[in-house]
Each structure stands twice: as C-alpha cells, then as structure tokens.
Structure 1
C-alpha cells in the first residue's frame, strides 16, 4: 500500500549530515511515510551511510544515480514518489518530530481545502551573529504565514524555506516539476505554481531546523545569485502586472541604476514603464538619462486608478516607508501596487 507522504531528499556529498537528516524523519510522530533519498553520484562515502540507513529502516528508499545535478535528482525523486503528499527536505536540515503530522493535518483540514502547498516556520540553524543577513531573512520569512501574506511578498524574495514545504502530489502532475536553468529551481517552481493559482500557507509553528552551511548552493552556485533571482522572477512579475494591472501605466519606485536594470527585464516580458518614483531629490528629472522617462517625488504620485506601482527598493526599512506612502494615497497592495525587491 502506498504511503500518505513521500519525503524527497536529494543528496550530494553529505556524508557528515545526511544520517542526522534521515534520523529526524524516522522520529516523526506521523508514521505513514516513505523517504526517497536520491544520491546524485556522491564520492565522499554518502552512499555507504545511506545503505546503512536503509538497512535499518524499510521506509527509506535510496536511488543511486550518476552525478547530473540537483534538478535531475529532485525530479527523479518526484517520479519515484507514491504518496498523496510530497514533502521536501535537504541533507543538512532536520525535521522536528511533529512536522509531517502538522502539515498533513493542515492540508487535510476542510478549511484549507483550497491550499495546495504548506510550509512552516523554521529555526535558523546557523550562527546568527556571523551570518546576520541570513538570520534576518529567516525572521522575515517567519513573519509571513497566511496565504495573503505569502502572495503579497512573493516577489521580494522567496517567502519560505523550500526544504520546509509539503504539497499535494497532483500539483506536479498538473503544473510540472522542477525546471533546470540559470535560476533558482525552488523559487521558480513556487512562482510558477502560484501564478497558476496555487494557494500557499504555513503552519505557524517551527517544524524545521534550516541549516546555513558554507557549502549550500545558495552561497556557491551562480543560479542563486541576486541577479539570477531578479532575472527569473521578472517573467512572473510581468504576468501578475498584466493580470491585475488592467492595462495601467506601470511606474517603478526606485530610480537607481540597479533598479533600472531590473526593470529592463520586465520590459522584455511586455511591461511598459511610464516613469520612476524616488525620494532622492538629485534623481528628480523630467527625462531620466538613457530612458527618457520622468522621475517624480512620492508627493507627486499619479492619481489612483491611473497607474500600477512596482516597489523595487532594496532595503526593508525603505520598503515599509514606500508601502505606507502608497497606502496613505489610497493604493491597495496587490491591486494597485506590488513590492518586488
């Protein structure tokens, strides 16, 4: 009989941590699971560790493959999954004992029938002082719980820790699995599924210890660079603007060079930019060099219903200010403006 949950765990050269990750799945209070560990051609003894784990636990299935990379390994795990629900995990993370029980219970609750993917709060498994920026990121994603909060903030950064997700298997069949390319595969899948109407929520409890190891791909792989994130999400921002903007002129909050570069990617997806908004008086002009578009102050915001605003400021404090100003002018987030960076 097929298990209710398939946990998919890709691994490459993680002999030092994977046994702990497997043990955290074995310690779950929800017992109807299979753990599919996809060994992506490890060369450090990971295979031996996994074979020992599988010998001790019949619910652990190990798939050994030649080294092809994370996305092929992930999709091999999805193809082998038999569960109604699929949970993701990485080899250096740890599930807390109630994780599967809480997340399965959430998706089975009648009130959450429209939710397709559920995450949770996560514990930062690194040095918060040495890696203060990442610790702030964890605090930020933990502040986003409801489907509305997740949806409104999804274009700033990924609003969840991907190893913390559990989703309905039918989403893979209907909307496709992970895609390989010069972009973060987990964020791309999330934006693609949400663009298709998938509602995303979180269990408001810490259920995963999220590691912050020096070798994690987000630190070492160019697919996870800041520019790769901006370039990839431009397509999905453009689609959302075209869906809710109703043909309005699009204005971008932020007129600096990095912002204009990122806005140019939007234009490649059919978004016509009417002008820019900036608090820096030195940037205010009737025709910004290289663009020919005006830069105005927040006090000169165009009339409500005439434009759709995209906030591209990079710092959270400035983002809060921009939101407050727009709301004070009657703009409604999600209808009249979105924060994107």
Structure 2
C-alpha cells in the first residue's frame, strides 16, 4: 500500500543536526509516510547517520551519490516519491509532532489548495528562540507578498504539496540553483491556492554557514528573476526590485547583531543577550556592538 506522504530531504554535510531532524519525523503523530533522504555527496558522517536510522525504520530510504546541489536533489527525490503529498524537510530543522497531521487534514479538507506551510519558530544554531515567521495565512496575502518580491512567506522546509500538482508543473526548475522555492511557490500559485496554517509546527534553524548567508547576492539575484518571470507569465509589469549584489557580505558579528534585534523584537531576551555578547566579543570596538549590547541588557 502506498504511503500518503513522501518526505523529501537533501543532506550535504549536515551531520551536526541530522539526528534531531530525522527524529522529529519519526515522532510525528501521523505515521503513514515514507522518508526519502538524498545524501548529496556529503564528506562528513551524514551517510552513516542516515544508515543508522534506516536500520531502525524501513520507511526511511537513502540514496547516496556525488554532489549535485539542492535543486537537482529535490527533483531526484520527487522521482522516487509515491505519496499523495510531498512534505519538505531540511537536515537542520525540527518538525513538531502534529505538523503532518494538521497539514494533511488541511489539504484533505481544501481541495482547491495545492500547498500548505505553517508558522515557524526561528531558532539560533543552539536551538534558542529568535522570532516566529510565516504569519501570512491566506492565498491572496501569500501570493501578493511573493509578487512584491518578499522572501520567506512559506517556509520551504515546512511546506506540504500535492504530488500530482508538482508533477503537472514539472517540479523544481533546475536553472534555479538558488531561490528554487520562490520560483516553485509562484508557479504553484498559478494553478491553485497556497496557505500557511496559523499553528507553529516547525523550528527553523538559522546558521551562519547556511546558503542564505553565504550566497546572499546569488540568492537575491535568482529570487528577483523568479519574481520578474512570474509577472511576465501573468501579463503584468514587473516591479522594481532591490539588488543586493553590490552589498558587502554580512560578517558573523553582523549576524549576531541582527539576531539580537530580531530576538528583542519578539521578547526573547535571553537569546538577545547571548548574541549581543557574541557580537561584542567579536567586534569590541564597534559602536554597533555596544549599542545592541546595551539594548539587550535593558531587554528592549
């Protein structure tokens, strides 16, 4: 009997958080799933970690080969998938126990919707809370935000999508080395509705080494291209979008300061103080470091 959900994860040197991520799938209250994990040429012990879990649960299917990148890996996972629904997952994030149950129930009850995400608690590398994102819930809000060039409206690792619709639109477009999720969601919105559940069902981990930080200008370039092409497909005039290609990359201290402000804005004072201190330790002569440290100590 075919599973109702195919979970697809691509892993590239993800051993640090991989056990916690896989365990969160095995802890789901909804159990009718297969878990397809593409080991995308990892050089750490990611493969052996997955093999250990595979020996404990036959629903886990491991495919290992040379490094090809995220977009190609996700399409490869789709070719193996047998479920009615595709659930994305990343190797450093955590799915809360009711995620699958609530997303399946929504899609079963709303046949006009092709994909559903959820609110996500953004956490730091050690799992401390920073803020909650993906707060827009309706198709109209989500599509308008994406068409305006906004990012992160539906969390890519938090989404569940109808497999037949993914097949209908051709899966991920492999020319999108980055921002493949932005392009996908814009194309999905042209054949059905998108939504986010108002429940917080995922923990999304920020990491200074993640693609969004280390390839920031390329990510932005591809995201802008996805937005422009969506307007062209719909016969609309593309908006003027910001270009970050000339901006210097963020330093680790910049990231700690940014995470401090985000955490303060959401009332996560302990997290804010932690990252303010880390920023100050790295750049003790920077005025910005002292400013954010003082605000974190006050708690606002």
User: Which bracket does the TM-score occupy, shorter chain normalised?
Assistant: 0.7 to 0.9
The secondary structure found in structure 2 opposite 1:201 is strand
Cα offset, 1:221, TM superposition: 2.5
After the TM superposition, which residues 22-101 of structure 1 pair with which residues of structure 2 at under 5 Å, given as runs? Answer: 22-101=22-101
Which residue among 145, 159, 181 is the counterpart of 1:186? 181
Q: 1:14 to 1:146 in 2, by over 3 A?
A: same
Is the CA contact 1:184–1:223 (under 8 Å) kept in the aligned structure 2? no
TM-aligned CA deviation for residue 225 of structure 1: 3.1
Greater helix content: 2
Alignment of 1:129-168 (within 5 A): 135=131, 139=133, 141-142=134-135, 144-155=136-147, 156-158=149-151, 159-168=153-162
The yes-or-no answer on 1:215 pairing with 2:209 is yes
RMSD across aligned positions (CA): 2.5
Deviations 1:301-337 (A, max 9, x none): xxxxxxxxxxxxxxxxxxxxxxxxxxxxxxxxxxxxx
The whole-number CA distance in structure 2 between the counterparts of 1:33 and 1:67 is 26
Unaligned runs of 5+ in 2: 245-300
**How far off its partner does 1:183 sit?**
4.0
The Cα of 1:230 is off from its aligned counterpart by 1.8
Shift of 1:22: 0.6
Aligned to 1:177, which of 171, 176, 200?
171
TM-score (structure 2 length as normaliser): 0.74
Helix, strand or coil: the match of 2:16?
A: coil
CA deviation string 1:196-222 (max 9, x = no partner): 322101111000001111121111225
Q: CA deviation at 1:49?
A: 0.5
Structure whose CA Rg is larger: 1
Q: 1:47 and 1:217 mapped to 2: Cα distance?
A: 21
